[in-house]
């Protein structure tokens, strides 16, 4: 029998995070602590859940318009304006998606011709490279550096640009490093994007999780960038709504019209119940965000201090809910370190290389876990590195 499969898909590796956590679940050991998954440990705020439930009791169990409920698009448009100074027409420039995940896929599929290059600064979220490939594009990776605070620098972007470059895919606050980019970092990037006639897909799903006293800045808000940018955001992180599968994209009409076609044929619409809950989240969820952000910040500070006290270099993550300690001095690869840590101390973290080769020498530790678990986990790391140093 000939292969029923698309060879492109067959060759695509599965996610490095999943691979690692398959081992964890096979161990089936209640003593194992996992700091691996990038998912809030908070429940969705009750008033948001109630709106979902209420929509069901009212029989709102039908498809929504393809682009999403009008009331939700209106709220998204208002929120982007209120928080980030972005102006998008809710009728033609906003689309509700099945998580930020779908928005990334659809944006790339709408923008790439076969062979177009997508510039991806790494370490990066695991779906970017595969989504670029699935959309017919060619990923071109920029290795970010710890000494640059894992921010994208203009010199590195310029060096990566070729005749085939089309899209720059960025994600700040960042998964896995926790890095942010401030306005002064984004400006030279925006200038290069305009100079070389590129477009940006900006995954801002962690925009509410910024622990500095400055607000998150979207690259789309810089001069000349609105027309070149697809902004991606969602509800999973800010409102602890991962399972509802709700996200959105905002883009100039010319790009959005094509994205909407793909969404229409592949998805139809995002879940209606989730959309009703989403309206409530955007309308009244700010205090919930504040509460969760304060708790994450508390945990972040705790982790940074523990690593400092242990003498493990840890870049000062200022956003999202990850820290990215540098374990290179122990002479193990990040994969070996994570595997030994799991087997000897029953602690699961993600090797930095799951996010690209430049993650080597690092671990990604999610602090979307209770402080109690984080304390126990850090004690285990401390014991583990004491053992390594004594070898
Ligand atoms: N982008 C980044 C950077 C993420 O970390 C995640 C979730 N881990 C997503 C997008 C997708 O989130 P969702 O589909 O749940 O909105």
Where are the domains positioned within the chain? 7-44+287-385, 60-284
205 Cα–ligand 1 center, Å = 6
In angstroms, rounded to a whole number, what is the distance separating the alpha carbons of residues 87 and 314? 37
- Phi/psi region, residue 110 (left: phi>0; alpha: psi -120 to 50; beta: rest), is alpha
369 Cα–ligand 1 center, Å = 17
Query: Which parts of the chain have pLDDT scores under 50?
Result: none
Contact assessment for residue 168 and residue 199, using Cβ atoms and an 8 Å cutoff? yes
204 Cα–ligand 1 center, Å = 9
Best residue among 237, 278, 281, 319 to mutate for probing ligand 1, ranked by most atoms within 8 Å of CB: 237
275 ligand 1 Cβ < 6 A: no
In angstroms, rounded to a whole number, what is the distance separating the alpha carbons of residues 264 and 262? 5
101 ligand 1 Cβ < 6 A: yes
**Domain 60-284, CATH among 3.20.20.30, 3.40.640.10, 3.40.50.920, 3.40.190.10:** 3.40.640.10
**Atom 8 of ligand 1, residue of closest alpha carbon:** 38
CA-based diameter of the chain, in Å? Answer: 65
- Environment class of 256 (CB within 10 Å of its CB; exposed 0-12, middle 13-18, buried 19+): buried
Q: Inter-axis angle of helices 253-266 and 99-111, to 10 degrees?
A: 120
List 389's β-bridge partners, or say none: none
**Atom 7 of ligand 1, residue of closest alpha carbon:** 38
pLDDT digits (tens, 9 = 90+) for 326-337: 999 999 999 999
Contact assessment for residue 201 and residue 233, using Cβ atoms and an 8 Å cutoff? no
175 ligand 1 Cβ < 6 A: yes
CATH class for the domain made up of 7-44+287-385: alpha beta
203 ligand 1 Cβ < 6 A: yes
Question: What CA–CA distances, in Å, run from 81 to 29, 76, 249, 329?
Answer: 47, 9, 14, 45
pLDDT digits (tens, 9 = 90+) for 207-242: 999 999 999 999 999 999 999 999 999 999 999 999
Contacts with 146 (C-beta within 8 Å, 6 or more apart), sequence order: 313, 315, 326, 362
121 Cα–ligand 1 center, Å = 16
Contact assessment for residue 209 and residue 321, using Cβ atoms and an 8 Å cutoff? yes
In angstroms, rounded to a whole number, what is the distance separating the alpha carbons of residues 220 and 80? 11
391 Cα–ligand 1 center, Å = 39
How much is the CA Rg of the chain, to the nearest whole Å? 21
In angstroms, rounded to a whole number, what is the distance separating the alpha carbons of residues 56 and 62? 10
125 ligand 1 Cβ < 6 A: yes
Question: What CA–CA distances, in Å, run from 331 to 5, 84, 158, 328, 389?
Answer: 41, 43, 33, 6, 10
101 Cα–ligand 1 center, Å = 6
Best residue among 100, 150, 173, 271 to mutate for probing ligand 1, ranked by most atoms within 8 Å of CB: 100
242 ligand 1 Cβ < 6 A: yes
pLDDT for res 21: 79
pLDDT for res 22: 81
Q: How far is CA 260 from the centre of its chain?
A: 22
Closest CA to 122 of 79, 73, 170, 193: 170
130 Cα–ligand 1 center, Å = 14
**Atom 12 of ligand 1, residue of closest alpha carbon:** 100
pLDDT for res 122: 98
pTM for the model stands at 0.96
Q: Inter-axis angle of helices 371-389 and 286-310, to 10 degrees?
A: 20
205 ligand 1 Cβ < 6 A: yes
Read off φ and ψ for residue 94, nearest 5 degrees.
Answer: -130, 135
Best residue among 17, 37, 102, 234 to mutate for probing ligand 1, ranked by most atoms within 8 Å of CB: 234
- Phi/psi region, residue 139 (left: phi>0; alpha: psi -120 to 50; beta: rest), is beta
Q: How many CA atoms lie within 13 A of 193 on its CB side?
A: 28
Closest CA to 240 of 321, 181, 126: 321
Contacts with 181 (C-beta within 8 Å, 6 or more apart), sequence order: 151, 152, 170, 172, 189, 217
207 Cα–ligand 1 center, Å = 12
Read off φ and ψ for residue 212, nearest 5 degrees.
Answer: -90, 175
Assigned token pair, 280: 């409530």
60-284 and 7-44+287-385 share a CATH fold? no
Alpha helices in the chain (DSSP H): 7-11, 16-27, 46-57, 70-84, 99-111, 128-134, 154-160, 183-195, 253-266, 272-284, 286-310, 334-345, 371-389
């Amino acid at each position: 029998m000939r292969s029923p499969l698309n060879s492109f898909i067959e060759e695509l590796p599965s996610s490095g995070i999943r691979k690692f956590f398959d081992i964890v679940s096979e161990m089936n050991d209640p003593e194992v602590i996992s700091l691996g998954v990038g998912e809030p440990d908070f429940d969705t705020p009750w008033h948001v859940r109630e709106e979902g439930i209420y929509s069901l009791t009212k029989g709102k169990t039908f498809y929504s318009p393809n682009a999403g409920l009008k009331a939700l698009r209106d709220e998204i448009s208002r929120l982007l304006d209120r928080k980030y100074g972005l102006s998008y027409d809710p009728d033609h420039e906003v689309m509700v998606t099945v998580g930020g995940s779908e928005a990334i896929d659809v944006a790339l599929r709408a923008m790439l011709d076969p062979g177009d290059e997508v510039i991806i600064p790494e370490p990066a979220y695991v779906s970017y490279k595969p989504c670029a490939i699935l959309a017919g594009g060619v990923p071109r990776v920029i290795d970010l550096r710890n000494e640059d605070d894992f921010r994208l620098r203009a010199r590195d972007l310029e060096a990566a640009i070729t005749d085939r470059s089309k899209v720059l895919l960025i994600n700040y606050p960042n998964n896995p490093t926790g890095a942010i980019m401030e306005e002064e970092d984004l400006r030279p990037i925006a200038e290069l994007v305009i100079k070389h006639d590129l477009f940006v897909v900006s995954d801002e799903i962690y925009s509410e999780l910024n622990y500095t006293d400055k607000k998150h800045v979207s690259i789309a808000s810089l001069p000349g960038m609105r027309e070149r940018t697809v902004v991606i955001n969602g509800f999973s992180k800010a409102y602890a709504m991962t399972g509802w599968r709700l996200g959105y994209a905002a883009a100039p009409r010319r790009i959005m019209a094509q994205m909407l076609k793909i969404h229409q044929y592949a998805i139809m619409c995002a879940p209606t119940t989730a959309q009703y809950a989403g309206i409530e989240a955007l309308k009244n969820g700010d205090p919930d965000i504040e509460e969760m952000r304060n708790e994450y910040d508390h945990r972040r500070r705790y982790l940074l201090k523990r690593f400092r006290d242990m003498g493990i270099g840890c870049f000062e993550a200022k956003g999202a809910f990850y820290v990215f300690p540098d374990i290179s001095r122990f002479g193990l690869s990040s994969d070996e370190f994570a595997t030994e840590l799991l087997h000897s101390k029953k602690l699961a973290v993600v090797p930095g290389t799951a996010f690209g080769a430049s993650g080597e020498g690092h671990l990604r530790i999610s602090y979307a876990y209770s402080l109690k678990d984080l304390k126990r986990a850090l004690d285990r790391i401390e014991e583990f590195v004491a053992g390594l140093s004594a070898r």
